[in-house]
Chains A and B, each alone.
Chain A
Amino acid sequence: MGDHNQPFLPVSGDPECAPVLGDDVVVDGALHRPQPGSTKSKLLLAVFSGIFVVCLILAGGYDKSGVVKVAQLGGVDELGVGPIEMPAGSTIVRPAVSRGKSAGVSEKANFSPEQLLGGGEVIGDGLTEDFPWNNSMLSWQRTAFHFQPEKNWMNDPNGPLFYKGWYHFFYQYNPNAAVWGDIVWGHAVSRDMIHWLHLPLAMVADQWYDVQGVWTGSATILPDGKVMMLYTGSTNESVQVQNLAYPANHDDPLLLDWVKHPGNPVLVPPPGIHHKDFRDPTTAWKTSEGKWRITIGSKVNKTGIALIYDTEDFINFELKEGFLHGVPGTGMWECVDFYPVAVAGGNGLDTSVNGAGVRHVVKASLDDDRHDYYAIGTYDEEAGKWYPDNPAIDVGIGIRYDYGIFYASKTFFDQSKQRRVLWGWIGEWDSEAADVRKGWASLQGMPRTVVLDTKTGSNLLQWPVVESESLRLRSKEFKNVVAKPGAVVPIKLEAATQLDIVAEFELDKEAVERAVESDEEFKCSSSKGAAHRGALGPFGLLVLSEETLSEQTPVYFYVVKGKNATLRTYFCADQSRSSLANDVNKQIYGSYVPVLTGEKFAVRMLVDHSIIESFAQGGRSVITSRVYPTKAIYGAARLFLFNNGTEAGVTASLKVWQMNSAFIRPFPNL
């Protein structure tokens, strides 16, 4: 496209126009090519502009000395502010590695906290013997009891439901590679949400309206038991539309075959909504008029919104005026979810339930920062509006389901056990090259029940479904283990890669009373992780750790004594030393967690190879981590109790179960 009015631009012969390296972008003959009919002033301009460009390049081009470290994927800080930090001006940093002390470590290991939990030294070349990734390290990463397909890429959970005795799970799947693309619907069933059996693909991209992706959708079970599945398709022209599908045979409990409604799409982007901002329809709920209502996330400028549609047949829809809700500055709302919770706690509620004793949750996955947020509020059914109880922590600016890696989550009402269950996509925190090499990417979180926290009234509680306990094998109890300030105490186990840990901690009361009030403003993400020593923390567990702590993943509490002796507790995970590898997430993340009077510091952790799910205070705050150790794998993985606070001792009681495999495999004899 050599426009003769732009004489100082190089003429690109390559239609793809791949710009070349810095030292090739210099003034050359093309810049001064005389143009037909050019005036003297244009020639003069060409010369001066060419010289200017040369000066620009000679002035230093771009700053080669400042390599910007891109923040790794995944969680940032507890308020979910800003997706990518770019601290410039640092050279390529070699990974901080503490070589620690090797053999000869005694039972009651007296590691000095500074040595091992302190910031590691930068060793001369930063290399370890075990790089790059070998097959042993990579194959260890596969989980034993978390849902994942046999190979390739997975993302969002789709259309979960309980039907004719089976839990059904569908998911975004790439049948061809370990990265996102060629998306179709995978399918699996289970009797108990733990022991999954893989089924053939439910839907593939075989229509013009979903040829570029059979994207996320939700199921609605009608009163007569029939299933309606609404899902987003990316059309041949990249327009996002909503489509209807239903089982080919409603008598088939496995729901193997699906029919796409011949009149698809049933919804196209309405006026004012961009064709790439219209996706992820929800489960429908009944209105008082007897119609079905769904919501679809979108945005208007930078305001994330949830559109509302009413329908009687899932084929013809009426866009309701206004939105269910919107929050300025939150950007595109993906995977919106909307459901009632009982004020009294207890059981979950069918999506259509409304009335006294019910609050409604609105949840959105924010495209801008890749986190899931929810808020609790009031649903005005007639107006088709929802209002947050506390606008300061509205959707997208307040509470997250999970302060680690957890996205595109979706709930469903399990009518067989009267509970609301939450699925969440757990991506990878390693490099795509490693994903390609190991042949797979992504997990689903352990399904969680969701209820209102009746003690605080202002947040939800999440807890692994009770069926997770069926995986428990042998257990070991450790009662009243004392960890003085600076202590690291080994927890002796036969193995430490498939665990269910239930732990309680107490701080020494006198030390707490003695401790001076601090005005520290603490955030997990801006702290030094487990090396950040305060009077009353950090203390917790070192998971997937190696004997000499060359690799360790601390999951811990950090307590600050503030004004009027009030205690504020934070719950964090620290991946800065989780692996000697240089291409995995090394961030520190977490959140404030309410700890009420009389409560001990409590955590339940599911450790399953490269995933750790940590639930604090009965599920008030949850952190999911993806961890990729190179040494702390198989029989070399260890568990430690630690207390890196400076003043208070910690007494811990733990029960640790070895966890069985869920033997997830293809459905037999299909």
Chain B
Amino acid sequence: MIRSTIFLVLLLTLYPIPIQIQATPSIPNILGNNLIDQTCKKTPYYDLCIQTLVSCPESFHTDLEGLAKITVGAIAHKASAALRRIETILAKKEHSKPAVREALNACASRYRAVVEQDVPETLMSLRTGNYKFASRGTNDAATEAMSCEEDFAAGESPLSDLNVAVHDVSVVAAAIVQAVIES
């Protein structure tokens, strides 16, 4: 009974959209061949890419370069969140092992580099059209995040979710930058 209800709901969920979209063409079709869909297909994390772009209304009214900038903004946001969490943990002096504190400090300098160097470098590069530095900046952000995670012994990283988040959105951004370069 419950299962068939869920099935019905899912069916009804999928059905109305194409019909309604034809009836109201102003609703953006994220499932069709528009720029967001095409762009996200060029990245290795399609769903994350869609999520990141769709949650920002500007995505629907911008070009490929604009999409790149939006994902770079996402890198900045998540990297800043990582920095805040590091500060919080380090402030609680009594709880961390020395090795963990050392790794946290290393991660802090990595994420400061992401926010203060990688992101501005990438945005400047996109603005002026010297795109390879945007590639460098976004790829580096992914490296910093991955390296931060690897600075901890297995199971000891208090930043895993954020490291993965920064890494993955940076990879998406790098792929979009590459699409800009090749466009």
Residue A565, interface by CB 8 Å: no
What secondary structure prevails in chain B residues at the interface with A? Answer: helix
Q: Is the CB of A92 within 8 A of B149?
A: yes
Q: Select the residue from A52, A212, A432 with max chain B CB neighbours within 10 A.
A: A432
Residue A41, interface by CB 8 Å: yes
Residues of B within 8 A of A62 (CB): 45-48, 51, 168
**Min distance, Cβ A273 to any Cβ of chain B, angstroms:** 12
Residues of B within 8 A of A41 (CB): 20, 23
Q: Is the CB of A19 within 8 A of B56?
A: yes
**Min distance, Cβ B48 to any Cβ of chain A, angstroms:** 4
Q: Is the CB of A52 within 8 A of B14?
A: yes
Residues of A within 8 A of B61 (CB): 1
Convert A155-194 into 0s and 1s, putting 1 for each residue whose CB lies closer than 8 angstroms to a CB of B: 0000000000000000000000111110000000000000
Residues of A within 8 A of B20 (CB): 41-42, 44-45
Residue A359, interface by CB 8 Å: no
Q: Is the CB of A12 within 8 A of B57?
A: yes
Residues of B within 8 A of A51 (CB): 9, 13
Residue A517, interface by CB 8 Å: no
Q: Is the CB of A431 within 8 A of B143?
A: yes
Q: A41-B23, A62-B45, A238-B127 are in contact. Are A432 and B109 (CB under 8 A)?
A: no
What secondary structure prevails in chain A residues at the interface with B? Answer: loop
Q: A12-B56, A368-B182 are in contact. Are A181 and B45 (CB under 8 A)?
A: no
Q: Is the CB of A49 within 8 A of B17?
A: yes
Q: Which residue of B lies closest to A92 (CB)?
A: B149
Q: Which residue of A lies closest to B20 (CB)?
A: A45
Q: Is the CB of A19 within 8 A of B128?
A: no
Name the one of A22, A64, A92, A126 contacting B51, with C-beta atoms under 8 angstroms: A22
Q: Is the CB of B26 within 8 A of A5?
A: yes
Residues of A within 8 A of B41 (CB): none
Residues of B within 8 A of A126 (CB): 150
Residue B88, interface by CB 8 Å: no
Residue A105, interface by CB 8 Å: no
Q: Is the CB of A19 within 8 A of B14?
A: no
Residues of B within 8 A of A72 (CB): 139, 143
Alpha-carbon distance between A381 and B51 when the two chains are bound, in angstroms: 54
| Chain A 270-284 interface residues, beta-carbon cutoff 8 Å to B | 274-277, 279
**Min distance, Cβ B151 to any Cβ of chain A, angstroms:** 6
Convert A4-38 into 0s and 1s, putting 1 for each residue whose CB lies closer than 8 angstroms to a CB of B: 01100111100011111110010000000000000
| Chain B 1-41 interface residues, beta-carbon cutoff 8 Å to A | 9-10, 12-14, 16-17, 20, 23-24, 26-28
Residue A200, interface by CB 8 Å: no
Q: Is the CB of A86 within 8 A of B171?
A: yes
Q: Which residue of A lies closest to B65 (CB)?
A: A276
Residue B84, interface by CB 8 Å: no
Q: Is the CB of A431 within 8 A of B17?
A: no
| Chain B 121-178 interface residues, beta-carbon cutoff 8 Å to A | 121, 124-125, 127-133, 135-137, 139-140, 142-144, 146-147, 149-151, 153-154, 161-162, 164-165, 167-168, 170-171, 174-175, 178
Q: Is the CB of A42 within 8 A of B24?
A: yes
Residue A508, interface by CB 8 Å: no
Q: A21-B81, A22-B51, A52-B14 are in contact. Are A367 and B56 (CB under 8 A)?
A: no
Residues of B within 8 A of A274 (CB): 129
Residue B63, interface by CB 8 Å: no
**Min distance, Cβ B101 to any Cβ of chain A, angstroms:** 12
Residues of A within 8 A of B175 (CB): 84, 86
Q: A49-B17, A370-B132 are in contact. Are A70 and B51 (CB under 8 A)?
A: no
Residue A109, interface by CB 8 Å: no
| Chain B 63-82 interface residues, beta-carbon cutoff 8 Å to A | 70, 73-74, 76-78, 81
Residues of B within 8 A of A132 (CB): 102-103, 106, 151
Q: Is the CB of B128 within 8 A of A431?
A: no
Name the one of B24, B106, B135 contacting A131, with C-beta atoms under 8 angstroms: B106
Residue A55, interface by CB 8 Å: yes
Residues of B within 8 A of A5 (CB): 24, 26-27
Residue A125, interface by CB 8 Å: yes
Interface range, B side: 35 or more
Q: A17-B73, A437-B109 are in contact. Are A368 and B56 (CB under 8 A)?
A: no
Q: A45-B16, A70-B139, A437-B109 are in contact. Are A276 and B129 (CB under 8 A)?
A: yes
Residue A208, interface by CB 8 Å: no
Q: A51-B13, A437-B109 are in contact. Are A22 and B165 (CB under 8 A)?
A: yes
Residue B87, interface by CB 8 Å: no
**Min distance, Cβ A115 to any Cβ of chain B, angstroms:** 24
Residues of B within 8 A of A45 (CB): 16-17, 20, 24, 27
Q: Is the CB of B110 within 8 A of A25?
A: no
**Min distance, Cβ B157 to any Cβ of chain A, angstroms:** 10
Residue A226, interface by CB 8 Å: no
Residues of A within 8 A of B14 (CB): 52
Convert A190-212 into 0s and 1s, putting 1 for each residue whose CB lies closer than 8 angstroms to a CB of B: 00000000000000000000001
Q: Is the CB of B48 within 8 A of A3?
A: no
Residues of A within 8 A of B44 (CB): 68, 86, 88
Residue A332, interface by CB 8 Å: yes
Name the one of B77, B114, B129 contacting A19, with C-beta atoms under 8 angstroms: B77
Residue A347, interface by CB 8 Å: no
Q: Select the residue from B45, B130, B178 with max chain A CB neighbours within 10 A.
A: B130
Q: Is the CB of B129 within 8 A of A22?
A: no
**Min distance, Cβ B81 to any Cβ of chain A, angstroms:** 7
Other A-B pairs, 11, CB within 8 Å; known A67-B146, A436-B113: A5-B26, A11-B57, A42-B20, A45-B20, A48-B17, A68-B45, A68-B171, A70-B170, A276-B129, A433-B113, A436-B117
What are some 19 contacts across the A-B interface (CB < 8 A)? Answer: A19-B74, A22-B48, A22-B51, A48-B12, A48-B16, A55-B13, A56-B47, A68-B171, A70-B143, A72-B143, A94-B150, A132-B102, A132-B103, A179-B137, A331-B181, A331-B182, A370-B135, A427-B136, A432-B144
Closest 7 pairs (CB-CB, A-B)? A276-B129, A18-B77, A433-B113, A583-B147, A62-B48, A132-B106, A17-B56
Using a CB–CB cutoff of 8 Å, the interface residues on chain A facing chain B are: 1-3, 5-6, 9-12, 16-22, 25, 41-42, 44-45, 48-49, 51-52, 55-56, 60-64, 67-70, 72-73, 83-84, 86, 88, 92, 94-95, 124-127, 131-132, 177-181, 212-213, 215, 234, 238, 240, 274-277, 279, 302, 331-332, 367-368, 370, 427, 431-433, 436-437, 582-583
